[in-house]
Chain A
């Protein structure tokens, strides 16, 4: 083995991580007092937690080569349902679980329409997103739910254990759980097989429809959980509160695909992708960079990461 080959392989495999490290170094040099501190590290983990959780779901759906465009609307719905239940005095645990179950079922419907009627997931979930948006507005009357939310409801979103926010802990646990599922279980391997070649998977005896349905359902459940956690973090639920996470989550997944050389959606890649987006937003705000410049930079960095990875792989697919 030649040393140069190792560097080449290393860069090909971890170019995006290098980029992430460079970003951290530059921010740390420019504002060591505010950026490179333990407090801000904790801050960043809390800020990316919601994005990571919703993007984990998007990763599952992308593993089976589908899209779910309704995740933003599902998150908004999850948040307002949880907040309304909390206001109505329902036990807090149920406030967290019920929206997740409801959205799991909605995800199954998404999957069922896609697999049963062979409708493009793009169209199905876009329509579902519109339906859910309408429902959420009707359900809330367009108003933010914030009055009379019990204090217990905001504990998960605002409290910490040993200075580590609960949201960050939940994010790490879920990332490990889904990494394990995708990497070490038959379920995960089957999802990748379906994404790799659906017909071959079908022929080899994989119940493609069932697994796709499950991918949509889990994705929707994670989106709902994100919405619930967001409501808990903000102490309020906005009827379009989760919508903003939709594009960001796919940006995280796409960035995540560039993290490892296989170039497929993967759990740790998504985590790194979301972390890079989160660090950029955090660092640029601390540097007092105007918002428009933040958007320009974030977009450029995503394109740069994808291009470099393609160059590294030596293909243009």
Chain B
């Protein structure tokens, strides 16, 4: 009987080998752009004689709508220029991000783009990229010595712009405010610092509380946070406004306020994501957002990278894409 089983087991070994090989091969093929060093990797553009440039876009926050939009636009834009692009998302995990940067370095990518992640948190791994002469770009990230360019909004200026608009134009210099933040994010922390500083200049505006919103799932999380804050601030006019450091918590907070019938509470966001803009136009609690110029950032990265590959000189450092206030 055991002998028969041995035969069955052999079949299973074969099935396992086949299944694994098939799965891995499928995965490899699913990346429509084959590795650049194969003949299939040659671009069909006017640079056909050169191997296509392999670009790795890495981010821990792909589930965020804005990061996602940015990554998709960047990928599309790079692909039209004949580059082979891979996107890696580590779902908020910086240990994984560090490992994936190492992998990209050992696979000898032609350039790395770090999206919405503070380079200080993966400094050692980026140093390995610098040592291997792999150019590193940032998009809505930060800038450290050794990188080429980080395209971003001036987050401090945006936080200040929105807080000032809220305090002066929407609140008339008095009332109470709730802040929804996520300080581990490099951009959000700058906006929050601008908010903190400006708040000190308005003695008649009282901060009820600052709440940390979890990522992923910021809309759901901020909605819950707001529902609870509504319960603890039940009387009308006990909350004048909610200052949200980016749009997704503002959306969640607005939904909670609408459900509770608290139409008097003003909400503002930052980012200008499409759902937030729609809510502003629908006369909800959400009154304004600062439109980050994500397309502008992507354009900066792609243009600078193209210049670099063409052998032109580029100016290293932070480059800002200017923001504007969106209101009804």
Contacts and interface: CB of A to CB of B under 8 A. Distances in A.
Contact of B7 (A4, A244, A286): A4
Interface stretch (B85-93, B257-265, B287-295): B85-93
Given A234-B94, A284-B27, A297-B24, A34 B106 contact: yes
Nearest to A288: B86
B62 to A, nearest CB: 7
A240 B91 CA distance: 12
B310 interface: no
A180 to B, nearest CB: 28
Given A8-B9, A142-B212, A288 B124 contact: no
B102 A293 contact: no
A12 interface: yes
B124 A291 contact: no
A126 interface: no
A39 B184 contact: no
| Interface class of chain B by DSSP | helix
B30 A157 contact: no
Given A233-B98, A282-B103, A143 B6 contact: no
A173 B208 CA distance: 51
A244 B91 contact: yes
Interface of B: 2-3, 5-7, 9-10, 12-13, 16-17, 19-21, 23-25, 27-28, 30-31, 33, 35, 37, 54, 56, 62, 84, 86-96, 98-100, 102-104, 106-108, 118, 120-125, 181-184, 189, 212
A242 B123 CA distance: 18
A307 B50 CA distance: 47
4 closest residue pairs by CB, A with B: A244-B93, A4-B6, A8-B6, A288-B86
Contact of A5 (B3, B62, B182): B3
B2 to A, nearest CB: 5
Contact of B16 (A19, A34, A137): A19
Contact of B2 (A5, A15, A144): A5
5 contacts: A2-B6, A43-B106, A241-B94, A241-B95, A297-B23
Nearest to A50: B95
Nearest to A245: B95
A226 B102 CA distance: 19
Nearest to A308: B16
Interface stretch (A23-31, A61-69, A182-190, A261-269): A23-31
Contacts of A142: 181-184, 212
A11 B9 contact: yes
Nearest to A281: B99
A144 B9 contact: no
A290 interface: yes
Interface in A54-112: none
Given A238-B184, A285-B88, A290-B86, A22 B103 contact: no
A301 interface: yes
A144 B184 contact: yes
Nearest to B88: A291
A236 B121 contact: yes
B24 A5 contact: no
A115 interface: no
A205 interface: no
Interface in A1-20: 2, 4-5, 7-8, 11-12, 15, 18-19
Given A142-B184, A304-B16, A293 B124 contact: no
B94 A288 contact: no
